[in-house]
Amino acid sequence: MKIIGTILLVAGILMTIFTGVDLVTKKEVVDLGVVEINKKESNPIYWSPITGGVIAVIGAIVLVAGKKK
């Protein structure tokens, strides 16, 4: 319980600070033997800072509940 609570708490704090990530994928557009043309696409993933706060609070509750045992 302590480990899960700590992981949730840290993940929630990080999600509150960093409100998104940007995944970059590489697509092959043309392949003509020796010549290749690739395209990089940006796929952003965003979440609300409130989500991170809720996860941090849940992590703190799980951490406190784990210490009571």
Each residue of 26-39: pLDDT tens digit?
998 888 888 889 99
Candidates 62, 67, 68; CA nearest to 9 is 62
The pairing of beta strand 20-32 with beta strand 35-46: antiparallel
> What pLDDT band is residue 61 in, cutting at 50, 70 and 90?
very high
Give pTM, 2 decimals. 0.70
